[in-house]
Amino acid sequence: MALRSGFVKAAATLSLLAGMGISSSLVATAQGAFQANPVVLIVTLGALALAPFALIMMTSFVKISVVLSILRNALGTQQVPPNQVITGISLILTIFIMAPVAEKMLEEAGLSDATAPVFTEMRADTLFKALDKGKEPLRTFLERNAHEADRRLFLGLAQRLAQKNGKDPNAITVRDFRVVVPAFVTSQLTEAFQIGFLLFIPFLVIDMLVSNILQAMGMFMLSPTMISLPFKLLLFVLVKGWVTLIQNLVLSYA
């Protein structure tokens, strides 16, 4: 079961890369080349097994999914839209935002051509060199969207841990992935909660107005949430909430 799950994840990731602009012939060539070298195949499948983790924690997926979940709670619609729809929208927007970064990574790694040495030679050192070159665009994206304060925080923590383990703390820089990745995730969560706070304000005002009106009319047995929900939905539709929210989420990474 675990082996089958690994191959399913690998196939799904290859399909995702194909949707980002890699031709089907390149993917087929890569698959055939990987079968020629078992070592490279094992390394590649191991990396693909971590693809879902990287997709969630090292892309815009974190902020988008949290914002959409907060929006659903602010509207008070409970399970509408359902979790599958929120995850799907977050994944689609993540692919849309990360497509230029993925294309740049493939270009830097030399994987945009089926005749690249990493496909023709199929040596482990060639593969690792390609991965080392291809990670720089991702590092730039993470740095650009990580707050400076968060990067300094995790840099200090990483240096303290290194010193505690008897290693040179000066060997750790602010551009290391061990610093950039947690700083990026923390920054994304901070921004998501800031957006969520702004989303909650107009809907909270509507809830308060409806509740006060019902109390003034003596309708204590009528649920304020049930009465305010249509007004919140109407407000969200009138201001073109979905278009405005998605547009600003995408532009925040421009």
Reported as a single tens digit per residue, the pLDDT across 96-141 is 998 888 888 877 766 655 555 555 555 555 666 666 677 788 888 9
pLDDT above 70 coverage of the chain, percent: 72
What are the tokens at 129?
């060199």
What are the tokens at 226?
């049930």
pTM: 0.74
| Between 164 and 134, residue with greater pLDDT | 164
User: What is the Cα–Cα distance from 222 to 198, expressed in whole angstroms?
Assistant: 28
Residues in the chain: 254
User: What is the Cα–Cα distance from 250 to 29, expressed in whole angstroms?
Assistant: 33
Domain spans, the chain: 2-251
Reported as a single tens digit per residue, the pLDDT across 73-89 is 888 887 888 889 999 99
